[in-house]
Chains A and B, each alone.
Chain A
């Protein structure tokens, strides 16, 4: 009888915890989590996802656009080099996110081609396009500055951001290929 009681209590408790974590994911986020943005995006595989679904792992995130000729290739290359150099245990808990600053022209198909051309591992890399207001809000939350010109080019902050498992900003770094070692050390030590 006692055993039966313990078992049912444990079952109840498990059910309670899992129900709470599913429905209260946003509410349970820390106050300084950018996942409070709670907005929806479309991936390179045409999946609609909520930004809070990135919770659970660390995310290295940057705002770029695929036809950018200058800084964006450096940011992406820097992030790829970081991926290569991270120790396996850290890498297992780290994912990479690129968000388009030109969502009108960066359709899921364009993002997919970009990812394939740059050999971005689909297991770890997510490319996002979405509503331009949501891009603006995300940039605001990451304190990224950008200015679009009429020829669909965008002058923008050349940075990427490391988010912790709950969407809090751990640090931001300028995309600079010479700083990879330094950044890897920083990620491992956090």
Chain B
């Protein structure tokens, strides 16, 4: 074992230590949630592209993973479900870049606690199902992401949107940091902004064609009931970016900055 290897081990230990202690702190505040998850109180979410008069979607209470799923977590899943190994997953479910940052033996050790990326919607969906969970819906994800560090609705804070936009305007990191390095939000959930994009169960509910020239107005011929479009809060650029990003995705896409976390209905645990 040479010195650089030792350094790497020490660094990994520190990283594990950091995320370990922060999760302990968070757990103390929410005793009843399933391990590694936090309760998000339901509320109302107005879909971005619906008109001001359109019905607001109500979101029930739900649990959401505190952290995005890491490389380490995902490797555990692959061990139990070899059909999702890098070389085994059918091409109908994953692009060829699936887990491209892994060698055949697994992930680089420096990325142990970093979010797993280069995973398709199908792989993320299978992972969550294997844990008895599911992917969060767009409405749930957006509701949880609305929280600042101190309030359930961060949008009432003056600098909140600006802060999130700052992240969107920065280029992606070459190597993703470990999860849980920043402050948790109001719900005790980490990294909703600032680290990766995340898959949602119903990302394909964004009714645009993906062809930007065709989407200046939604082509009502392409979608049944597609005429009900307009925008609610044109000031929320970050939400527009997420909406646009989701619209451009296909379920088998695998991207270096796109990962996921899982959710669960709150009733299951009562």
For the A-B complex, the count of residue pairs with Cβ-Cβ distances under 8 Å equals: 75
Q: How far is the CA of A70 from the CA of B220 in the complex (A)?
A: 11
What residues of chain B lie closer than 8 Å to A150, measured between beta carbons?
55, 57
Evaluate contact between B90 and A137: CB separation under 8 angstroms: no
**When the two chains form the complex, which single residue of A31, A136, A157 contacts B222, counting CB atoms closer than 8 Å?**
A157
- B243 near A: Cβ within 8 Å? no
- Bound together, the chains give a CA A103 to CA B34 distance in angstroms of 30
Is B35 positioned at the interface, with any CB of A under 8 Å from its CB? no
Residue of B nearest to A29 (CB): B90
Shortest beta-carbon distance from A67 to chain B in Å:
12
Contacts of B91 in A (CB 8 A): 31-32
- Which residues 50-68 of A sit at the B interface, judged by CB distance below 8 A? 68
Q: Does A105 lie at the interface of the complex (its beta carbon under 8 Å from any beta carbon of B)?
A: no
* A114 proximal to B (CB < 8 A): no
- Report the bound CA distance from A144 to B93 in whole Å: 15
Task: Find out whether the CB atom of B251 lies under 8 angstroms from the CB atom of A158.
Answer: no
Interface residues on A, range: 20 to 34
Complex-state Cα separation, A136 to B122, whole angstroms: 10
- Residue B201 contacts which of A70, A136, A153 (CB distance < 8 angstroms)? A136
Verify A157–B223 contact, CB threshold 8 A: yes
Assembly CA distance A139 to B122 (angstroms): 12
- A170 interface hit (Cβ, 8 Å): no
Instruction: List residues 197-251 of chain B with CB under 8 A from any CB of chain A.
Output: 201-202, 204-207, 221-226, 228, 250-251
- A105 vs chain B, min Cβ distance (A): 16
Q: Decide if the interface of chain B is mainly helix, strand, loop or mixed.
A: loop
Asked whether, in the complex, the Cβ of A145 is within 8 Å of the Cβ of B92, the reply is no
> Complex: how many Å from CA A141 to CA B207?
16
Cα distance A155–B121 in the bound complex, in angstroms: 21
Smallest Cβ distance from B218 to chain A, in angstroms? 10
The reply to whether the CB of B125 lies closer than 8 angstroms to some CB of chain A is yes
In the complex, chain B residues whose CB is within 8 Å of the CB of A133: 134
Bound Cα distance from A72 to B225, whole angstroms: 11
Decide yes or no: A149 and B55 within 8 Å by CB, A31-B90, A72-B224 being known contacts: yes
* Residues of the A chain whose Cβ atoms lie less than 8 Å from the Cβ of B121: 140
A147 within 8 A of B: yes
Q: Does A174 contact B (CB under 8 A)?
A: yes
Pairwise interchain contact A146-B205, C-beta atoms closer than 8 A: yes
The reply to whether B125 and A137 contact each other, CB–CB distance below 8 Å, is yes
Name A155's closest neighbour in chain B (CB-CB): B225
- Interface assignment of A111: CB less than 8 Å from any CB of chain B: no
Q: Which residue of A lies closest to B251 (CB)?
A: A140
- A54 to nearest B CB, angstroms? 14
Question: Which A residue sits closest to B49, measured CB to CB?
Answer: A147
Residue of B55, B204, B221 near A145 (CB, 8 A) is: B204
Q: Judge whether B204 and A32 touch: CB under 8 Å.
A: no
A35 (CB) vs chain B CBs: closest residue:
B92
**How far is A154 from B228 in the complex, measured between Cα atoms in Å?**
12
**In the complex, chain B residues whose CB is within 8 Å of the CB of A144:** 204
For the complex of A and B, 10 pairs with smallest distance between CB atoms: A71-B224, A140-B251, A147-B205, A155-B225, A31-B91, A36-B90, A145-B204, A32-B92, A31-B90, A70-B224
What are 21 A-B contacts defined by CB distance under 8 Å? Answer: A29-B90, A31-B92, A32-B90, A32-B91, A33-B92, A36-B92, A36-B93, A68-B224, A70-B225, A71-B225, A140-B121, A140-B251, A143-B250, A145-B205, A145-B207, A146-B204, A150-B55, A153-B225, A155-B224, A156-B224, A174-B222
Known: A141-B93, A141-B251, A155-B225; 11 extra A-B contacts, CB below 8 A, are A70-B224, A137-B122, A137-B125, A140-B251, A143-B251, A145-B204, A145-B223, A147-B207, A157-B223, A158-B221, A174-B221
